[in-house]
Amino acid sequence: MEFSDTYKHTGPCYFSPDARFIAVVVDYRLVIRDVYTLKVVQLYSCLDKISYVEWAPDSEYILCALFKKSVVQAWSVSQPEWTCKIDEGAAGITHARWSPDSRHILTTSEFMLRVTVWSLVSKACVHLQWPKHASRAVSFTQDGKFVAIGTRKDCKDYVNLLSCQGWEAMGVFETDTADFSDLEWSPTDSTIAVWDSPLEYKVLIYSPDGRCLFKYSAYENALGIKTVAWSPCGKFLGVGSYDQAVRALNHLTWKPVAEFTHPAVVKGPYNVVVFKEIEESMQMDVSRLSINGKSSHDRCAFKGDHGHGDDDRPEGRTRIRYDVLEFPVTVPSIKPPLDKPNPKQGIGILAWSPDSHFLLTRNDNMANALWIWDIKRLELSAVLLHRDPIRAAAWDPINARIALCTGTSSLFLWTPAGACCVHIPLPQFVACDLKWNPDGSSLLLKDKEAFCVTFVPAICDFENVTGIPVC
């Protein structure tokens, strides 16, 4: 694997939807870089420090939200002279997002007073009062024709449906929730999932005309839902909760087809593989070896080996690798304090593979472990145990491949064929966050003050990293 040099950032960094550019925040400046050369393509100066950045779906425009100034600025990548400024004044701005047509911007005011839709074409605006949340409870259909927005009025929750063509109201219905947390259209645009706050375990499935098709509650009188995600195929709804379990609801019966628990001791099934990160010292002096005219250090760096230089490890040269463990395997766990709010317990990360075949989860009180579930077999497929808590984990947008980081100088990769650890050969760089390029060709790795890009081999060439053919 090849790694770029590091570049400074002070805020969000995002790939463009067309996979050609990277937007990087540096104080009050927005820097647009080419993905492959990382050369600066555009440089924009904003009125204040940038709080939030979002690409338009067509990658032609990008917005910068300046929450302290109550201003949103939008820019064109291909036409640097074009610019747009939205000033909400005393109403304030707490969030901004693009509409699917890339020609409208939705802003949420302070105190959840209203959502405003701003047209970049006609300069007209439309208001919707009493949004439920600033950054949540807004979901567009896959075809971009409709939007569902959660609102709250007179202590009751509602779902408002609007047409994205003229932003007319298409309907509104009340939800059977005490204080709903979020909503999301199904990938097939046929239903809307609504779930309650963590104080009450309740998932509701509504049709667009407001009929409640199904209600599901796994238990009562305990903290409830923490994460929810539709599978890309739309056949399953994954619900992660504070009881350290994930339940997959089927789209036909809306009943659980599987309940995945996260046991403290993994005993099976027989085909599950448990990988454990270990650090070992290099006993031999590999720097003097030569293979095909290249030193082993050069070869390992090209292949993403895990060796740390002597400057990184004063006690000597070491490397990180995965070991495959025998059953039973004990998973490290912590017990959160009972007297503090928002306990570090339950399913904090839940994500589906692009083919809906696998589901990855992280149980927050077992933060060092990543669990991978096989949905076709309805059983555990693999567990990845690490020395440090998992900071971020994400699926390749194209293939069944996972990248994760733990706030160290290593990058971890998994496919159904195997797993590997890759050393990041950049001084003083630790990966605290990561994002996939939409085409799956590269990864953006973020440190606290710098970022780099690594170019990931195609899935059929992945044996260059893992040593295991996968095609």
| 219-233 pLDDT, tens digit each | 999 999 999 999 999
Residue 314: per-residue pLDDT:
42
Contact between residue 362 and residue 405 where contact means Cβ atoms under 8 Å apart: no
pLDDT band (50, 70, 90) for residue 444: very high
Listed residues 63, 87, 111: the one ending a domain: 87
Residue 417: per-residue pLDDT:
94
Listed residues 48, 70, 87: the one ending a domain: 87
pLDDT band (50, 70, 90) for residue 270: confident
Q: 350 lies in a domain?
A: no
Gap between the Cα atoms of 248 and 254, Å rounded: 9
Residue 340: per-residue pLDDT:
84
CB atoms inside a 10 Å sphere around CB 80: 13
Q: 312 lies in a domain?
A: yes
Gap between the Cα atoms of 410 and 421, Å rounded: 7
Task: Give 57's contacts (C-beta < 8 A, 6+ positions apart).
Answer: 17, 98, 100, 101, 102
pLDDT digits 0-9 by tens, 155-197: 999 999 999 999 999 999 999 999 999 999 999 999 999 999 9
Residue 311: per-residue pLDDT:
41
Listed residues 70, 87, 104: the one ending a domain: 87
β-bridge mates for residue 404, sequence order: 393, 412
CATH of the domain at 5: 2.40.10.480
Residue listed under structure tokens 């204040």: 48
Q: Global pTM?
A: 0.90
% of the chain surpassing 70 pLDDT? 91
Mean pLDDT of 234-259: 97
Q: 337 lies in a domain?
A: no
Gap between the Cα atoms of 220 and 294, Å rounded: 63
Checking if the pLDDT of 364 tops 50, the result is: yes
pLDDT band (50, 70, 90) for residue 464: low
pLDDT band (50, 70, 90) for residue 393: very high
Give SS3 for 469. coil
Checking if the pLDDT of 422 tops 70, the result is: yes
Report residue 52 CA to chain centroid gap.
16
Residue 380: per-residue pLDDT:
98
Checking if the pLDDT of 338 tops 90, the result is: no
Checking if the pLDDT of 269 tops 60, the result is: yes
Q: Is there a cis peptide before residue 328, judged by omega within 30 degrees of 0?
A: yes
Residue 90 phi/psi, 5° resolution?
-70, -20
Residue 196's H or E segment, with its range, is strand 192-196
Range of the domain at 65: 1-87
Mean pLDDT of 141-159: 97
**At residue 225, what is the residue type?**
I
Residue 288: per-residue pLDDT:
46
Residue 467: per-residue pLDDT:
57
Gap between the Cα atoms of 368 and 388, Å rounded: 6
% of the chain surpassing 90 pLDDT? 86
Task: Give 283's contacts (C-beta < 8 A, 6+ positions apart).
Answer: none
Structural domains in the chain (count): 2
Mean pLDDT of 383-399: 98
Contact between residue 192 and residue 206 where contact means Cβ atoms under 8 Å apart: yes
Task: Give 415's contacts (C-beta < 8 A, 6+ positions apart).
Answer: 399, 400, 401, 402, 459, 462, 466, 470
Q: 203 lies in a domain?
A: no
pLDDT band (50, 70, 90) for residue 339: confident
pLDDT digits 0-9 by tens, 279-327: 988 765 545 444 444 433 333 333 334 444 434 444 457 899 999 999 9
β-sheet with 71-76: strand ranges across: 52-55, 61-66, 71-76, 83-87
Task: Give 421's contacts (C-beta < 8 A, 6+ positions apart).
Answer: 277, 306, 320, 321, 322, 410, 411, 412
Residue 87's H or E segment, with its range, is strand 83-87
Q: 119 lies in a domain?
A: no
Q: 99 lies in a domain?
A: no
Residues counted in the chain: 471
Residue 241: per-residue pLDDT:
98
Count of helix runs (H) and strand runs (E) in the chain = 2, 43
Q: 213 lies in a domain?
A: no
Q: Could you give the angle at the alpha carbon of 261 between the alpha carbons of 255 and 266, nearest 5°?
A: 145
pLDDT band (50, 70, 90) for residue 460: confident
Mean pLDDT of the chain: 91
Residue 301: per-residue pLDDT:
32
Residue 458: per-residue pLDDT:
86
Q: 27 lies in a domain?
A: yes
